[in-house]
Structure 1
Amino acid sequence: MNKKCNVGGQAVIEGVMMRGEKGIATAVRTSNGNIEVSIDNNTPLNKKNKLFSLPIIRGFISLLDSLIVGIKNLNYSASFFEDGNEEPDAVDKFLNKIFKDKTDDVLIGFTLFISLCFSILLFFIAPTFIAQGFKRIGANNITLNIVEGLLRVGIFLAYILFISKMNEINRLFQYHGAEHKTIFCYENGEELNVENVKKYSRLHPRCGTNFIFLVMVISILFFSFISWNSFLYRICFRIILLPLVAGITYEIIRWLGKNDNKLTEIIAYPGLKLQELTTKEPEDDQIEVAITALKNAEGIKPKKKTIGELLSFSNKILKENNIESYVLDSQLLLGKILERDRLYLITNREEYVDLYKEEQFKKLVEKRKNKMPTKYILGESEFMGINFFVKEGVLIPRPDTEILVEKVLEITDKEKLKNICDLCCGSGAIGLSLAYLREYLVVTCVDIEDIPEEVTKENIKRLNLDSRAKFIHSNLFDNIIKENLKYEIIVSNPPYIRSDVIPTLMDDVKNYEPNIALDGGEDGLYFYKQIINESKKVLLKQGYLLFEIGYDQGNEVQDLMISAGYSEVRVLKDLAGLDRIVIGKNMAI
């Protein structure tokens, strides 16, 4: 059975207002990503006087209260997106001088008055004025009432459709959807979290949209009994009887919220369909805002979870999404948030985690659930025992590539070569590992993309290699040749996957790692051919050219190097016994 409650809400600018047992809570997502909450514990108008709580009367009083609270909270949410450095204009100074600390209340009252006037003009006066024209052609009262009602509904629908085209209003409608889904989840007694809330409908029978639509319907029925003596007569009656119509509608909305049967479904159906216009499916971070508002409005104190509980939560999510390394990934992600190693997490499973850190951890879990590589999420990857900064836009260094680094170290140690070019460097892992592990090596890292440049320069800085490593932005050797630079060793891990194979790669790779660092053309050999043909222009005599290759490319790359005049060309295998490196020596004069 559903857990019925009296929680209500409203979307505001980048946020949600909720009214609950403990007061009115407005949660707003600010421009820096934080959620700011304002709580108002003032007694609602319909509880300040027994008369205001009587049926029918309480409906109109609640409507007034909702309008006042709504405008107040819209102003609150808007305040986060105002320019705090902007000087008050002449009008602001004038109002502050006259009303002083009551200026906000006066502005709210004025805004409420203008809003009511606009609503009366658009939805009361305009339809009646237009329908009045039909009276001149002999239409009877029944026809006039039908025309007036259709015009009112039509104007309302046109208004909703018009404002929904605005980006800001579309965002507001998303928060409206988040408000409804969150209330539904709470009414059904489920734990308030994003995954649970997402399951529920964004269409709710106790919505303000339903209220407005039912006001129109009841008005049509109610005013069918009022004659069309004159335009002014009819408008005055509408305004005078508006509290009664609002009160009756309020009681119907309450009844719809407390009952679930065929009759309530029929009555609520048009308003629910209308909500398809006034609500949109929210994003996860918008749902988080709505949950925060509801919890504060209801006085729900979040319970801290332990390290063990958070790891279990993450393990379950990642395992369900076919992440094979779910246990390790969970530990690494939580370790990043808590700034602790895996051993600490394993031996301190009963330690409680701050709620803010819990939310940050859940965001990382969501990224991994969507198959983002863990090392991108962590922002670092270990290679040759060194922690490298990585981000989307550079290839994540692989353990298999360490064989290539070890081979270069073997050559430099034996032949005392020191000037090295790391071509297609990505994060700079190959070249900077060499410079980090051997103090006599000088390395130039080369790449054509901006992100590799950013990442490589950051790694140079982190590893304190400024004096022996640099980055050159270049399309392969173009700028190297222009600067007439020469090297004793060129090492490269170029893109070597065939174009038709890339769509078959794991989601972690094809959806996140840069395609430009993977795609080696139709045969996977495009970059090997380019590099081999141009390498003689920058490689010194007796210098070495070394490549990482795909497991099935050894013979082809070896033949390319031999054809280009390289000697002592050989293919080396990795620890798994697969072809991994091709090495050759430049004997040209």
Structure 2
Amino acid sequence: MTIREACMQASSFLRAAGVEDDASSAEWLLEHVLGCTRSELFMRWGEPFPGELRDRWRAMLERRAAGEPVQYITGEQPFYGLTFRVTPDVLIPRPETELLVERIVELGSKRWPGGSPLVADIGCGSGAISVALAAACSSWNITATDISRDALDVARENAVRNGVGERLKLFHGDLLEVYVRERMPIDILVSNPPYIETGDIPGLQPEVRLHEPVLALDGGPDGLRFYRRIVEQVDLLPAPPALVGFEVGQGQADFVAELIRAAGHWDEIGIVPDLAGIARHVIGLRKN
């Protein structure tokens, strides 16, 4: 059996199991098991599939056929040009969150040119946002919090593997509580909090509902619990952050924008669409 034939058979097997992205899943898993890139995979298309890898390959395909996300099977997910380790303790970083990182880098660099603003990534999960910001902005002071110690372990590993382990400070705690307790002045607050309505969780895709952590998904009865709590806690800080950025669920942007507008700390409120045109991020900026 050639590598090409193994890929075709795998795609057919996954399709028969009801996996919608059967072809891409087969290719991604094949790249991982062979330890090669996509272009290298095609160059090796006609080679025999290594016999010593067949059991491992079969086990990975069975996990995908059962609905487990590819990222948890391989343990990796690319994000913002970096590679992140992911486990069932953290959400899988999504491409749309890269747009939030881009906007924070853009606005923060203009507001603090050559400066060292203190950044707080609230509910950091895998550390995708905070690690990406640390990699992109070497002079910034990056911190992050999560209520899950297991998630913080993953974030710490990702900081080290992406070369920013000594620059990312991680805190265990609920939202802003550590910053409030320690009277830490935050310049930039960024968060991709849980925003799925509790009643919608049973209807999520099995890949999400059965494998990603509910703690990182459940945003309360209307999905907006954590936005309210974060904005409330901002009033307990020494001063409100000059820049805030939130990722939101579909249909939530207007409410979150009004929430931070009503707080009265930010002069400019903007909504950023994702590549599908969905209002995905809400940004608040104080001019002075």
TM-score interval (norm. to shorter): over 0.9
Q: Does 1:565 pair with 2:261?
A: no
Higher helix proportion = 1
Partner SS, residue 353 of structure 1: coil
CA contact (8 A) 2:121 2:189 kept: yes
> What residue number does 1:583 align with?
283
> What residue number does 1:482 align with?
181
Q: Does 1:354 pair with 2:53?
A: no
CA deviation after TM superposition for structure 1 residue 580, in Å:
1.1
Q: Does 1:444 pair with 2:143?
A: yes
Whole-angstrom CA distance in 1 between matches of 2:254 and 2:223: 13
CA deviation after TM superposition for structure 1 residue 484, in Å:
2.1
Q: Structure with the greater relative contact order (CA < 8 A, sep ≥ 6): 1 or 2?
A: 2
Partner SS, residue 190 of structure 2: strand
Compute the RMSD of aligned alpha carbons: 1.8
Partner SS, residue 497 of structure 1: coil
> What residue number does 2:162 align with?
463
Q: Amino acid of the residue matched to residue 21 of structure 2?
A: S
> What residue number does 1:379 align with?
75
Q: Does 1:396 pair with 2:92?
A: yes
Q: Amino acid of the residue matched to residue 446 of structure 1?
A: T
Identify which of 221, 231, 235 aligns with 1:532.
231
> What residue number does 2:8 align with?
312
Whole-angstrom CA distance in 1 between matches of 2:161 and 2:168: 12
Larger Rg computed on CA atoms:
1
Q: TM-score, normalised by structure 2?
A: 0.93
Whole-angstrom CA distance in 1 between matches of 2:80 and 2:242: 24
Partner SS, residue 445 of structure 1: strand
* Alignment: residue pair count: 284
Identify which of 22, 29, 36 aligns with 1:326.
22
Of the structure 1 ranges 400-409 and 475-484, higher mean CA displacement relative to structure 2 is found in: 475-484
Which 5+ residue runs of structure 1 have no aligned equivalent? 1-304
CA contact (8 A) 2:186 2:241 kept: no
Partner SS, residue 250 of structure 2: coil
CA deviation after TM superposition for structure 1 residue 355, in Å:
2.7
Of the structure 1 ranges 369-378 and 477-486, higher mean CA displacement relative to structure 2 is found in: 477-486
> What residue number does 2:119 align with?
420
- Partner deviation per Cα, 1:243-287 (whole Å, 9 max, x = no partner): xxxxxxxxxxxxxxxxxxxxxxxxxxxxxxxxxxxxxxxxxxxxx
Partner SS, residue 485 of structure 1: coil
CA distance 1:547–1:505, change in 2 (3 Å)? same
CA deviation after TM superposition for structure 1 residue 555, in Å:
1.6
CA contact (8 A) 2:119 2:189 kept: yes
CA distance 1:525–1:541, change in 2 (3 Å)? closer
Partner SS, residue 422 of structure 1: strand
Whole-angstrom CA distance in 2 between matches of 1:389 and 1:539: 35
CA deviation after TM superposition for structure 1 residue 530, in Å:
0.3
Whole-angstrom CA distance in 2 between matches of 1:317 and 1:330: 9
CA contact (8 A) 1:536 1:586 kept: no
Whole-angstrom CA distance in 2 between matches of 1:539 and 1:484: 6
- Partner deviation per Cα, 1:459-483 (whole Å, 9 max, x = no partner): 1111121232121111111222222
> What residue number does 1:513 align with?
212
CA deviation after TM superposition for structure 1 residue 399, in Å:
0.8
Whole-angstrom CA distance in 2 between matches of 1:342 and 1:327: 13
Whole-angstrom CA distance in 2 between matches of 1:370 and 1:321: 8
CA contact (8 A) 1:388 1:459 kept: yes
> What residue number does 1:112 align with?
none
Whole-angstrom CA distance in 1 between matches of 2:237 and 2:24: 44
> What residue number does 1:218 align with?
none
CA deviation after TM superposition for structure 1 residue 309, in Å:
2.6
Q: TM-score, normalised by structure 1?
A: 0.47
Partner SS, residue 33 of structure 2: helix
Of the structure 1 ranges 541-550 and 489-498, higher mean CA displacement relative to structure 2 is found in: 541-550
Identify which of 537, 545, 549 aligns with 2:248.
549
What's the % identity of the aligned pairs?
35
